[in-house]
Structures are given as structure tokens and as C-alpha cells.
Homo-oligomer: A and B are copies of this chain.
Amino acid sequence: MKLVKVYVTLKKSVLDAQGEAIKSAIHSMGYSQVADVHMGKYFELNFADDYADLEKDVDAICDDLLANPNIETYRYEILEAE
């Protein structure tokens, strides 16, 4: 089994409304040294081991489903699943 970890984040230029709200909550909790907060999505996908073209398919799944290319970017890492 392969474990693919996908990280989807907003493009730098896109407003991160949640990150902003979380940042001010963290400040109001007293941690004023937090300079910046960004929020994204995290996925873990398990793939069968004998997978032919894993990267190509992960790219397609990310492009078409997990990330919205208008506003988000993604990266991923492929690991051996325990």
C-alpha cells in the first residue's frame, strides 16, 4: 500500500478568510507573536501497491477533485503505508 498525503492551500494572492479569523482569535488568546496563519486542507489517500502510474493519477485526482485550481494549489508526498 502507498500512502499519499496531499496538502491543499490557497494561492498566496487569494483572501484566506479563515486564516485571518483564526489569527485574530490566537491574538486575543494572548499569543501576539503569531505573525500569520493560513488554513488549508489535508488528505490521506491509500492506494493499492501495484499501482501503474501513481503520480499521474494523483495529479488528476488533485486537479479535478481535491483542489480548486481557480484559488488553490496543492502538493503531495508518496509514502509506503505501514
Contact = CB atoms under 8 A, between A and B. Distances in A.
Interface string A66-82: 10000000000000000
Interface of A: 1, 7-9, 19, 22, 25-26, 29, 31, 33-48, 51, 57, 60-61, 64-66
Contacts of A34: 45-47, 61
Contact of A41 (B25, B35, B40, B46): B40
26 contacts: A8-B42, A9-B42, A19-B43, A22-B43, A25-B65, A26-B61, A29-B60, A29-B61, A33-B47, A34-B46, A34-B47, A34-B61, A35-B46, A36-B44, A37-B43, A37-B44, A37-B45, A38-B43, A38-B44, A39-B42, A39-B43, A40-B41, A40-B42, A40-B44, A41-B41, A41-B42
